[in-house]
Structure 1
Amino acid sequence: MTEQDTFYVLYRFKVTPGREEAFKEGWCRMTEAIREQRGGLGSRLHYSKDGWWMAYAKWPNRKAWESSQRLSESPDSEAAELMAQSIQERLPPIPLVPEIDLIDRRSEIGG
């Protein structure tokens, strides 16, 4: 896998007040299950002051993400349920192809 092949997907959610911890737990569990079972490369979850939760997930390529999307069974049904019970609103995912990546990776590996 080269960095040029890397593919990202942006997700956006409104979470029911009081359900934030359940949502975060579900998100972490689902990310791990996707990594272990479907080849995902992890995700980052962010909160915005306007009340939206935003996340982007990294995949080795678009084909791997699309293949995962076609599977009907969840890689972690309990995590999926935690998230479903927590999400008030969900916007469609936005596929992203990186053009320029200026994030300092040294900070990610403790260097």
Structure 2
Amino acid sequence: MLVKVGFAVLYRWRLKPGREKSFVETWAKMTELIKEQCGGLGSRLHQLEDGTWAAYAQWPDRETWAAMQGRDSIDKIASAQMREAIEESFEPVLMVPVKDLLLFD
């Protein structure tokens, strides 16, 4: 099934040393919940060469993403665990795909 990605957001963080595993686990949990309950299309988590972390989240449209921003956390405990692992958060980068050449199975 082909899913149209109409909006994407790039998030970036600097994590506290030793908190990487906790962050990855709670990021995965939150991503699954966002897919199930908020209409998100999924995300990829990356560790950058400069030591920061980035996640590329895909959405069907900006409106679906904005609706998720305005609601309470879908898992307050997981959200708190993620925040505890983050030393610094950078401003999200909002993007509209122009050409999509990613391969999906």
So what's the TM-score if we normalise by structure 1? Answer: 0.87
Equivalenced residue count is: 104
So what's the TM-score if we normalise by structure 2? Answer: 0.92
Gaps of 5+ in 1: none
| Percent identity over paired residues | 46
C-alpha separation between the residues in 2 aligned to 1:29 and 1:99? Answer: 29
1:2 deviates by: 6.2
Aligned partner of 1:31: which letter? Answer: T
- Whether 1:47 aligns to 2:79 is no
1:56 deviates by: 0.8
1:28-47 matches, cutoff 5 A = 28-47=28-47
- Whether 1:103 aligns to 2:102 is yes
1:103 deviates by: 2.0
8 Å CA contact 1:31–1:42 kept in 2: the answer is: yes
C-alpha separation between the residues in 2 aligned to 1:26 and 1:2? Answer: 25
RMSD (Å) for aligned C-alpha atoms: 1.5
1:3-22 matches, cutoff 5 A = 3=4, 6-22=6-22
C-alpha separation between the residues in 1 aligned to 2:37 and 2:101? Answer: 29
